[in-house]
Structure 1
Amino acid sequence: MIRLHHVAQTRSFRVLWMLEELGLDFDVVPHSFFDRSLRDPAYLALSPAGRVPALEIDGRTLCESGAILQYLAETRGTLTGTPEERPDWLEWLHYAETVGSHVANLTQHHIILRDPAMRSATVMRLEAKRLEKALEGIERRMAGDWLLPSGFSAADIAVSYGALIGQRFTALDRLPKVSAWLDRLNARPAFQRAAARDGAAQIYMQAFYPPPEETPHA
């Protein structure tokens, strides 16, 4: 039995999607960021940081989404690219965390910090610009329709989560390759199945969160 502990609109979506792409049977255990379920001792035994995902599989639990994608790809024998592409495949898996770190900071300031006094307009503008630069890196290095020349792989799943959420914080108008890539990903049957199982939105309730405008100095 494979069991995925999941919160809608989070990095655990990457694992949900990967499981669908692989055609595996699994259960989804829904959680919320806005109650105490992720701080329950039983859950902390699965995920020490109290975060999602946590994937119960093969008699153990994994809780880092990037590691889970790599484990699933390598143990289920697919979505790894060619042997010659392995360095690039690994590079993209880790580049996903570069993109994701900026998305996480923007989420923290725009959404999690509900008191405006706790937010930093400077950080919000800076992180939006850093996210844009990270997405430009994808635009420059696209190998065609997918990140690897051989075709769709777990790298596309890993990196695209940051782009999918990132477009809520920075416009993709100047990134036509990234925009077209996301359209292709959205059209995949496994993506659509995963989206249907993702659950109701809990975090991102707006289509776009613009960075605050700079206040001119007096």
Structure 2
Amino acid sequence: MIRLHHVQYGRSFRVLWLLEEIGIDHFGGLEISEYQIGTPAMREGDLPRLSPGVRIPAIEWDGLEMAESGAIIEYLVESEAPELGRGVGNPERAAYLQWIHFAETMASLIENLNLQMVFLRPPAKPSPIVVKLTVARLRQTLGGMEARMGDSPWLLEGGFSAADIMMGFNLFAAPYYVDLAEFPKLQAYKARMEARPAFQRSVEREGPQRFYQQDFYPVPES
């Protein structure tokens, strides 16, 4: 049985979705250890041993212990589901790796906005200048994706891949800060993700999200 150290709708959602795409039975079942960010539980138990930064996701499976969503995705795809990757020699490999890692460029901006807009509590206040700049950078990354989507339904012309799974977390979270109406191709891309049965099973496991308290977070006034 594979054990996933998880925060609801965090980066570990990528791993959960991948496990559903491959098939939970392939791993002998799934055990989820769920945490809430900022609680002492994250520094208790096994997570500090598995993750150098004491962050999710982390996995344990058949002697394998790993942290970092991108690393877990790449490893499990290469070892258990090569059809979801682009191996050495594949003409799409460079683009595949670029999208895998671009997902973290975008996710780091979302994380910054989460810290500013969700985690800060009165009397602390988010910085309007920092939020404005970060939203602009997030919008720029979304615009770059929009411009490169072309006519393919997925990031790669060869079809659905783990690069799309890496983006799933981003396109769930980004609309809390940037209106996706600006990006019709990304809206359609997000809808295709949400239509996948494995994605739907992952969302069913997650339940209603409990992190964001409002549908959209505008840049705070100065």
**TM-score, normalising length: structure 1:** 0.93
Separation (CA, whole Å) in 2 of partners of 1:68 and 1:20: 14
In the TM superposition, 1:178-189 aligns within 5 A as 178-189=186-197
CA distance in 2, matches of 1:56, 1:155: 22
Aligned to 1:172: 180
In structure 1, runs of 5+ residues without a counterpart are: none
Q: What's the CA shift for 1:41? A: 5.2
Per chain length, whose mean CA-contact separation is higher, i.e. which structure has more relative contact order (CA < 8 Å, sep 6+)?
A: 1
Percent identical pairs in the alignment equals 43
What's 1:194 paired with? 202
- Evaluate the alpha carbon distance shift between residue 117 and residue 35 of structure 1 in structure 2; reply closer, same or farther with a 3 A threshold: closer
Aligned to 1:71: 75
Contact 1:89/1:148 (CA < 8 Å) preserved in 2? yes
Moved more, 193-202 or 88-97: 193-202
Matching residue of 1:80:
85
Partner of 1:148: 156
Aligned-partner SS, 1:9:
coil
Q: Deviations over 1:195-218 (max 9, x none)?
A: 1112453321221111124x4xxx
Name stretches of at least 5 consecutive residues in structure 2 with no aligned partner: none
Q: 2:35 aligns with which of 6, 31, 54?
A: 31
SS at match of 2:83: coil
CA gap 1:49/1:200 in 2 versus in 1, 3 angstroms: farther
Q: Which residue number in structure 1 is paired with residue 128 of structure 2?
A: 121
Higher mean displacement: 155-164 or 184-193: 155-164
Q: 1:6 is paired with a residue of what secondary structure?
A: strand
C-alpha distance in 2, partners of 1:46/1:182?
32
Q: Give, in whole Å, the separation in 2 of the partners of 1:52 and 1:154.
A: 18
2:20 counterpart residue number: 20
Which 4+ stretches in 1 moved above 3 angstroms?
Answer: none
Of residues 131, 138, 145, the one that matches 2:145 is 138
- 1:160 paired to 2:164: no
Match of 1:11 in 2: 11
Q: Secondary structure at the match of 2:85?
A: coil
Distance 2:117 2:20 in 1: 31
2:104 to 97, 101, 105: 97
Q: Which amino acid counterpart does residue 22 of structure 1 have in structure 2?
A: I
Q: Which deviations, in whole Å up to 9, do the C-alpha atoms of 1:134-162 show, x marking residues without a partner?
A: 01111111141000001110000102311
Equivalents in 1 of 2:33, 2:45: separation in Å? 16
Q: 1:173 offset after TM fit, Å?
A: 1.3
Amino acid of the structure 2 residue aligned with 1:89: Y
Deviation for aligned residue 1:118: 4.0
> Structure 1's 47 and 202: CA in aligned 2 closer, same or farther, altered over 3 A?
farther
> What residue in structure 2 maps to residue 42 of structure 1?
46
